[in-house]
Amino acid sequence: MNNEHQNNTAQARLASGLRGLGGMDPGADFASCVMERIGSAAPLPLPKRRSERVLDWLARPRTVRVSPLAGLAAAACLLLSMGLLLKHDFGVGSQAPKGLVPVTFVLAAPSAREVAVIGSFNDWNAVGWTMTRDPSRGLWTLSSALPSGSHEYVFLIDGTTPVADVTAALNVDDGFGGRNSVLLVKSDHDSIL
């Protein structure tokens, strides 16, 4: 109610001022004068391209306000992802980092369409552990690098049939009525066996 009254008063004062100006004539050359002034003015800068605007936005310093809870959550996510990255297993095709020992798996299975190695070293997951076939000899091979110690594994033929390695030093009960092969990977300091 009070605002409306103030607006009305301001409008009445403005109308009264305008009436007080009387009948001023802008003159016949008013429009041309205006256009001349506009033409003589310095040109406005062109709008920046999108990439430049993004760069400006990134480069401009700004204050970011984060609650302690959000900060902790962000730090936790960062640590979690780092932890998962460090836990990541170095699989096939990786250059053997320090502590890992090169290993080659070989299986003779001429009639198999696809063979993979699954074991305790790859969480029994065949993804990325498919063997390569040598058609001339009917041999499937796979080279990788594993940490020293004892590992259990089998060959997975055509994605469904697990087969133990008959050339392994040891084959043991897998708890499901089948057999797992045991691979002893030697460390550098006990390579005598």
Partner 1 sequence: MTRFSRTLLVSFLLAIWLLAPFTAEAYRIESSLRQAQEDGRLTPEEAQGIQARIDQTREQGLPSAPFAAKVEEGLAKHVRAQAIIHALDVIRGDYVFARDTLRRNGVEPTPDDIVLTGDSLRLGLTRLELTAMADLNPPPPMLATAARTRAALNAIDFPVPLSDKIMRQGLSLGSLKPGWERLFRVVQRTREVGIPDVTVADAAARVLADGGSPAELLQELGLTGRDTRHEPDASK
- For residue 63, the number of C-alpha atoms closer than 13 Å in the C-beta half-sphere is 1
* 162 binds partner 1, rule: CB under 8 A: yes
| Bridge-based pairing state of the strands 132-134 and 100-108 | unpaired
Integer angstrom CA distances of residue 83 from 86, 90, 124: 5, 15, 21
| Contacts (CB under 8 A) with partner 1, residues 87-106 | 87, 101-104
| Alpha-carbon gap, residue 133 to 100, rounded angstroms | 25
Nearer to partner 1, 47 or 177 (CB): 177
Stretch near partner 1 under the rule CB under 8 A, chosen from 11-19, 25-33, 49-57, 182-190: 182-190
Q: Which residues contact 97 (CB under 8 A, 6 or more apart)?
A: 90, 145
Among the residue ranges 4-12, 28-36, 50-58, 73-81, the one whose residues contact partner 1 (CB under 8 A): 73-81
Query: Is beta strand 170-173 parallel, antiparallel or unpaired with respect to 115-119?
Result: unpaired
Q: Of these, 114, 126, 130, 147, which contacts partner 1 (CB under 8 A)?
A: 126
Which residue's CB is nearer to partner 1, number 9 or number 83?
Answer: 83
Q: How many residues bind to partner 1 according to rule CB under 8 A?
A: 43
Q: How many helices (H) and strands (E) does the chain have?
A: 4, 8
CB of 10 vs partner 1, minimal distance in Å: 52
CB atoms within 10 A of CB 179: 19
Task: Between 51 and 160, name the residue whose CB sits nearer to partner 1.
Answer: 160
Can residue 110 be called a binding residue for partner 1 (CB under 8 A)? no
Residues of this chain that interact with partner 1 (CB under 8 A) are 68, 72, 75-76, 79-80, 83-84, 87, 101-104, 118, 120, 123-126, 146, 150, 154, 156, 160, 162, 167-170, 172-178, 183-186, 190, 192-193
